């Protein structure tokens, strides 16, 4: 199974931690990394609605992570791959 991680790099997300999230690939072990595609997304369009939570936002396949941290993203990726969280 392939997991796509889209990290919002829009201005708000970038300034609120999205820049740091772009280092996510460094947290993956080589076996896991081959199943994960990491892309920067100009804007996921989630800041416009407070119900979505707070930036920065990351989308892992169809799961939206608000107030994203490296650990939250890693846990979600592991869950998508069926690995222990």
- Reported residue count of the chain is 85
Residue range of the domain that includes 61: 3-81
pTM (2 d.p.): 0.91
3-class state of residue 32 by DSSP: helix
**Which CATH number does the domain housing residue 37 bear?**
3.40.30.10
At residue 84, does pLDDT exceed 90? no
Domains of the chain: total: 1
Beta bridge partners of 59: 6, 64
pLDDT digits (tens, 9 = 90+) for 1-50: 799 999 999 999 999 999 999 999 999 999 889 999 999 999 999 988 88
Q: What are phi and psi of 7, to 5 degrees?
A: -100, 120
């Amino acid at each position: 199974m392939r997991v796509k991680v889209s990290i919002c790099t829009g201005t708000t997300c970038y300034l609120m931690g999205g820049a740091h999230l772009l280092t996510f690939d460094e947290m993956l072990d080589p076996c896991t990394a081959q199943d994960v595609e990491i892309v920067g997304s100009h804007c996921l369009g989630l800041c416009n609605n407070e119900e979505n939570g707070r930036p920065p936002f990351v989308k892992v396949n169809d799961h939206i992570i608000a107030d994203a941290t490296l650990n939250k993203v890693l846990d979600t990726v592991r869950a998508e791959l069926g690995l222990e969280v």
